[in-house]
Amino acid sequence: MLCHVGNIINNDTKVRKILQEFDFDIRNISYICIENLKRIKTFGKMIDDVLNYNRQFVASKGYEKYITSKYPDKKLAVLSCMDTRLTELLPAALGLKNGEAKIIKNAGGLVISPYDSAMRSLLVAIYELGVEEIMVVAHTTCGACHMSFREFKHHMLDRGVTEETFDIIQRCGIDLDQWLEGFHDTEESVRRTVDTVSHHPLMPKDVIVRGFIIDSVTGALEEIK
C-alpha cells in the first residue's frame, strides 16, 4: 500500500504539487517505499529455504542419527548465550554430543529474575528430566554487554513501534530499561546468575551450579568463582 502511494506521488504532478503545499517531504516518502519494497522481496525467503531443506532432510532419513530420549545422558544442563558463534563451538568445546545435556539459551545467558523463562527451564530440567548439575556459560565479546533499551528504542520506532506503545507498557508496570538491560561486567554477570540459580527457593540443595566464561574463538573455559 505504501509503495503504491509512492508511485502515485512520483507519477502524478498534481498530487506532488498539493503535497508540496503542505510541506510533505516527497523524497522521504519515496525512500520509505523503496525500503519497504526491499523488505517485501526478502520476506519469508529464509524460512522458505529452511522448509525446503527440511523436506529433503526427512525424505532422506537424515534424522536417524539424532534419535535419542528426552532425558540428558550426563544429567547436565547448560545455560548459555544465543550467540551464533556458540552454535557449534559450545557443545564441541564441552565435549557434548546429541542427547547428553539440556542446553538453554537466551540473550546473554542470563537469569534476569528468579521467575523468568530461563529459571523455569532449569527447574523443569531438574524435576522432570533428571538434571543434577548446571553450568552457566557466558562468553567473551558478548553482544548483551552494554545492551540497553535506550539503544533499541530508535530502532523500534523505525520499525513501527509507537511512543504510545511504550507508554502503555510503562503504565502496565513493565520497566523496559530494566527488562532490556544487558550487563557491563561479564564475570559479575555470571556470579549474579549463579547466585540467583543456586539460591532459588525451588532449587534442590544437592544440585551443583558453577559459572564459566567461554572464549568465543578458541572455546577455552575459565571458571568464575
| Greatest Cα pair distance in the chain | 77
DSSP 92: H
Cα–Cα distance between 40 and 130 in angstroms, integer? 46
Mean pLDDT, the chain, whole residue set: 88
* Cα–Cα distance for residue pair 99/207, rounded to 1 Å: 20
Cα separation, 200 vs 136, whole angstroms? 15
pTM (2 decimals)? 0.79
3-state helix, strand, coil split of the chain in percent (to 5) is 50, 15, 35
What are the strands of the beta sheet with 208-214, ordered from one edge? 101-106, 76-81, 133-139, 208-214, 221-224
Instruction: Dump pLDDT digits (tens) for 14-62.
Output: 555 555 555 545 455 555 555 555 565 566 789 999 999 999 999 999 9
Please state, as a whole number, how many other Cβ atoms lie within 10 Å of the Cβ of residue 183. Answer: 20
pLDDT computed for residue 37 by the predictor: 56
What gap in Å lies between CA 195 and CA 136, rounded to an integer? 11
pLDDT at 9 over 50: no
- Average pLDDT, integer, range 192-197: 97
Cell of 69: 530420549
pLDDT band at 155 (very low <50, low <70, confident <90, very high): very high
80 pLDDT exceeds 60? yes
Three cell numbers, residue 219: 572455546
* Alpha helices, H only, 145-185: 149-158, 163-171, 176-179
Compare 133 and 151 and report the one with higher pLDDT: 133
